[in-house]
Amino acid sequence: MSDAPHSTKAEFDFVVVSNRLPVDRVTDSDGVASWTRSPGGLVTALEPVMREADGAWVGWGGQPDLTIDPFENDGIHIVPVDLSAADIEEFYEGFSNDTLWPLYHDVIAPPAYHREWWESYVRVNQRFADAAAAASAQGAVVWVQDYQLQLVPRMLRESRPDLTIGFFNHIPFPPYGIFSQLPWRLQIIEGLLGADVIGFQRVADAGNFLRAVRRLTSFPTRNPAIEVSSAGQPTRRVVARAFPISIDAKSFEELAREPRIQERAREIREGLGNPRTVMLGVDRLDYTKGIGHRLKAFGELLAEGRVNVEDVTLVQVASPSRERVAAYMQLRDEIELTVGRINGDFATMSHTAISYHHHGYPRDEMVALYLAADVLLVTALRDGMNLVAKEYVASRFDDDGVLVLSEFTGASDELKKALLINPHDIDGVKDAILQAIAMPAKERATRMRSLRKRVLENDVSRWSSNFLHTLEQARASRYDRISPVQLPDELEWTVDRRWSD
């Protein structure tokens, strides 16, 4: 990766703003610093988009007090934003990941509400907005990403009315019955309404947002448009709708077709003792991912003798995440205790029950793992999209492999030919695992072909061009009064009415 310094002038016509940059600064035990790829689906999706565009990416470099000049990395102009240790504690670990994250994921863990975290969130959002404004040319398009930066659209609108502003929420947007807990709910809605287009993963998320707007403001709405007025400003039309995110599907297929990757997949299976079935879980170590539910189901199947370790192995990749947040520390202890217990009870000298890996792997190794896995288990309790499911499908050019997919992921709206499960129903998960293991080759191929068609057609470039095209249209009609705007709905959706009031 090259670190060529770059100019800081306001020269970019396209600017992406996200909490994390696509690369994280890491320092090894000898104090040598380097950049590595950042974790998470946001980077997976946006990196190929940014490589195509001649834009700037504004974000944090992953370490405290990192004051570095803008630079170019693998063809992307990087504009770092500095966060202090206190900002990381209060804005990132606190308000973003201990308030908003659990609140937006169905309160699976209890959200904490602290006024000083909120104040830090406002301050840091202002810093991101200022950095984005400084990098943006007159009339530029600025695309703000995710729940950490929900105040940035309004802040940008106030300082730079010339900009066209998009916002995309990568995680779910909660039903009003849950969202209304947030003491700063109105400020969040007003922050988001600074954008011209607000994108969500699912139709249900966009519906939840529109309901929150109706409950908290008097702005007229007509799905998908909202008419926003504020003192001294002309009335603006804002569009809020679903744009389900995806991956660069072709690049996964291309890698999977490489003989060296296929050879590596064979090696992986051999290393596991060539069991008949390899099952795989790939997640950030996060309580939303339902890793414990998956282990419980597998452990019970082993205990009941319905599967045995000679025949079936589970590989669990759990990449480290938010390790200083208490709920994540506790989760790690629970998961590792459970893995240890299951292995202690069921492993033999030649076969382990669960091959557990607490680190991330490079893309090549992940694709080899996808090829090696007969079954991918996605048991998230709530997930904005789940791009791992799409990566698995994109990699299976051989039309083989079975996807077991939680209905609480955004991906389940599209990937109907997966074995859909309710992860809370442990007996149902066990049945799906057994069905996946026993599925005849013909049925596996039929299902995988249909899944692949979906993922290869709706890839990330289609996602970004849909969003940016809608943003362009919205800019052109920003001051039109509400009329029934006919925006193409690419996919068929069912509206999730749970929790809504």
289 touches ligand F6P by CB under 6 A = no
Query: Rule CB under 6 A: is residue 39 a binding residue for ligand F6P?
Result: yes
Backbone angles phi, psi at 246, to 5 degrees: -145, -160
- Options 34-42, 152-160, 228-236, 469-477: segment touching ligand F6P (CB under 6 A): 34-42
Q: Which is nearer to ligand F6P, 289 or 322 (CB)?
A: 322
Q: For the CA atoms of 199, 140, 129, 21, what is the dihedral angle to 10 degrees?
A: 70
Is the Cβ of residue 24 or residue 227 nearer to ligand F6P in the bound state? 24
Interface with ligand F6P (CB under 6 A), residue from 90, 146, 374, 414: 146
Quote the tokens at residue 249: 């599907």
The answer to whether residues 386 and 418 touch, using CB atoms and an 8 Å cutoff, is no
Nearer to ligand F6P, 170 or 294 (CB): 170
170 contacts ligand F6P (rule: CB under 6 A) = yes
Per DSSP, the residues of 377-405 read: EE--SSBS--HHHHHHHHH-TTS--EEEE
80 near ligand F6P, judged by CB under 6 A? no
- For ligand F6P, the nearest residue by Cβ is 40
- Select 44 or 208, whichever has its Cβ closest to ligand F6P: 44
Would you count residue 382 as binding ligand F6P (CB under 6 A)? no
CA distance 366 to 332: 22
**Identity (one letter) of the amino acid at 275?**
P
Nearer to ligand F6P (CB atom), residue 375 or residue 385: 385
Q: Which two tokens stand for residue 204?
A: 């249900």
Residue 202 in contact with ligand F6P, rule: CB under 6 A: no
Tell me the C-alpha distance between 282 and 289, whole Å: 9
**CB closer to ligand F6P, 144 vs 171:** 171
Q: Is 40 in the site for ligand F6P (CB under 6 A)?
A: yes
Helix (H) or strand (E) holding 420: strand 419-421
Q: Indicate whether 20 belongs to the interface with ligand F6P (CB under 6 A).
A: yes
Residue 207 has which token pair? 């519906």
How many Å from the N-terminal Cα to the C-terminal Cα in the chain?
Answer: 50
Cα distance between residue 155 and residue 122, in whole Å: 10
Closest CA to 134 of 43, 296, 48, 7: 7
462 to 481, contacts with ligand F6P by CB under 6 A?
Answer: none
Q: Is 42 in the site for ligand F6P (CB under 6 A)?
A: yes
For residues 226 and 242, which CB has a smaller minimum distance to ligand F6P in the complex? 242
For residue 76, the minimal CB distance to ligand F6P (Å) is 15
Q: How far is the CB of 259 from ligand F6P (least distance, A)?
A: 32
Rule CB under 6 A: say whether 41 interacts with ligand F6P. Answer: yes
Query: Least Å distance between CB 421 and ligand F6P?
Result: 22
Q: Does 428 bind ligand F6P (CB under 6 A)?
A: no
Query: CB of residue 476 vs ligand F6P: minimum separation in angstroms?
Result: 29
Beta bridge partners of 25: 35
Residue 409: which residues within 8 A CB-CB, separation 6 or more?
Answer: 378, 380, 382, 383, 384, 385, 386, 389
100 is a contact residue toward ligand F6P (CB under 6 A): no
290-329 residues near ligand F6P, rule: CB under 6 A: 321-322
User: Cβ distance 57 to 22 under 8 Å?
Assistant: yes
DSSP per-residue string spanning 305-325: TSS-TTTEEEEEEEE---TTS
Binding span for ligand F6P by CB under 6 A among 40-48, 106-114, 192-200, 268-276: 40-48
Rounded Cα distance between 392 and 371, Å, is: 8
| Residue nearer to ligand F6P on the CB measure, 299 or 410 | 410
Q: Calculate ∠ Cα 394-399-405, nearest 5°.
A: 60
User: Residues interacting with ligand F6P, by CB under 6 A?
Assistant: 19-20, 39-42, 146, 170-171, 321-322
